[in-house]
Amino acid sequence: MAAMLIRVLTLTLLMTLVGCGDDRPDQIAKYQQLAGQRIDSLGQMLDNGQIRNATLLKQYSGILAKQQPDMAPLFNELAKDATQQGPMFTSLVRRYQELGDAKNFVDLDQQLAEAENIYQAADPSLFNDMLSDPLNVVADMSNGALARVNSISREAAALANGAEDFGAGSQLVGNPGYGSWQTGSNGMSFWAWYGMYSMFSNVMRGPIGYDRWSSRRNYSYYNDVGRYRYTSPKQARAQNKTFERTKKQFSSQGKKFDSPYAKSRSGSTSLSRQSTSTPKASSTGSSSKSGSKFRSNYSKNSNFRNSNSRTTRGVRRGK
């Protein structure tokens, strides 16, 4: 009798496990489909001038390019963020294209998290907020003639956060769309701009070292709000590697070193609901637990269930 009961319980357990199959591959496929649609739609909105901060970025950059012709190449480069050629948009497209290859991820949890992050990052309201960083950089370079958006003044934020003023352009430091942390001959890391962004060196107060920036940085949308959504797993690993290397160096000297994202800085104003509900930037790059199940907050959304893939072709071509 006991043996029969055990067999019945075992059979029941097996049937339960089969009925609760892993739905992550299906969730990834659905998010990939939705992300493609959103990226296509976002690109069209940028082309049509329907993203407010993108429109302002074009206007601001155009004004200062005429007023400061020696810095015009930099302003023209920043203006690209208002188009499909900018680093923030092209990063979304690249991440979307890499999403379909499971080899790019440590496990299904990371792949699914990335799928949701891309889907969220392509939301027009969230992307509009993301553009506040390059927009405010241009505003700061106008010496107060052009108004900031979604943020208090650089000076007020520095005072509130006990931050060092590294100069115009410092909001973009740490954002992998504009540069990267490089290691110098002394073993310490410093910020190196990509291409035309190197012109920021003309207006910033000397090279920016990772150790000093980590403890003295000011508020920026990317570093304090958007990093979770606008950072790929590969970029997050690079950021974590820089932190761990610096932490080890400080530890060898008997000193403590905290992550630049351990404490969020204040300074944001009038952000969208999508931004205010974004996970903390400090959680970016957290390793997933083996075997854990990812449960999306959007899995019950009717648009999620009933979407189709007809608008994803442009993204797959890489636009």
57 pLDDT more than 70 = yes
| Backbone conformation region of residue 90, classed left if phi is above 0, alpha if psi is from -120 to 50, else beta | alpha
Quote the pLDDT of residue 61. 98
CA distance 41 to 303: 15
Encoded tokens for 152: 């208090």
Query: If pLDDT is split at 50, 70 and 90, which confidence band does 236 have?
Result: very high
Q: What is the pTM of this model?
A: 0.84
For residue 204, is pLDDT > 70?
Answer: yes
**Distance separating alpha carbons of residues 185 and 122, to the nearest angstrom:** 39
Helix residue ranges, H only, the chain: 2-19, 24-47, 52-67, 72-79, 87-99, 108-121, 124-130, 132-140, 154-161, 210-216, 221, 233-252, 273-276, 302-306, 313-316
Tell whether the model's pLDDT for residue 285 goes beyond 90.
no
Measured CA to CA in angstroms, residue 288 lies from 146, 154, 278 at distances of 43, 36, 18
**For the chain, what are the domain ranges?**
25-278
What residue type is assigned to position 30 of the chain?
K
Give the residue with greater pLDDT, 187 vs 282.
Answer: 187
Output the pLDDT for position 18: 44
**Selection from 218, 211, 228 nearest residue 264 by Cα:** 218
Local confidence band at 281 (pLDDT 50, 70, 90 cut-offs): low
Please, which residues have CB within 8 angstroms of residue 241's CB and are 6 or more apart in sequence?
A: none
For the chain, what percent of residues have pLDDT higher than 90?
75
pLDDT interval class at 193 (50, 70, 90):
very high
Distance from C-alpha of 229 to C-alpha of 119, rounded to nearest angstrom: 9
Q: Pick the closest to residue 297 from 276, 283, 270, 278 (CA basis).
A: 278
pLDDT reported for residue 309: 39
Tell me the pLDDT tens digit for each residue of 122-152: 999 999 999 999 999 999 999 999 999 999 9
Q: How far is CA 264 from CA 65, 157, 221, in A?
A: 33, 12, 10
Question: Cα–Cα distance between 19 and 224 in angstroms, integer?
Answer: 41
Q: Given a cut of 50, is residue 303 above it in pLDDT?
A: no
75-100: pLDDT as tens digits: 999 999 999 999 999 999 999 999 99
On the question of pLDDT at 295 being above 80, the answer is no
Mean pLDDT of the chain: 86
In this structure, what token pair is assigned to residue 318? 């890489």
Rg of the chain over Cα atoms, rounded to whole angstroms, equals 22
Which pLDDT band holds residue 205 (cuts at 50, 70, 90)? confident
Per-residue model confidence (pLDDT) at position 21: 82
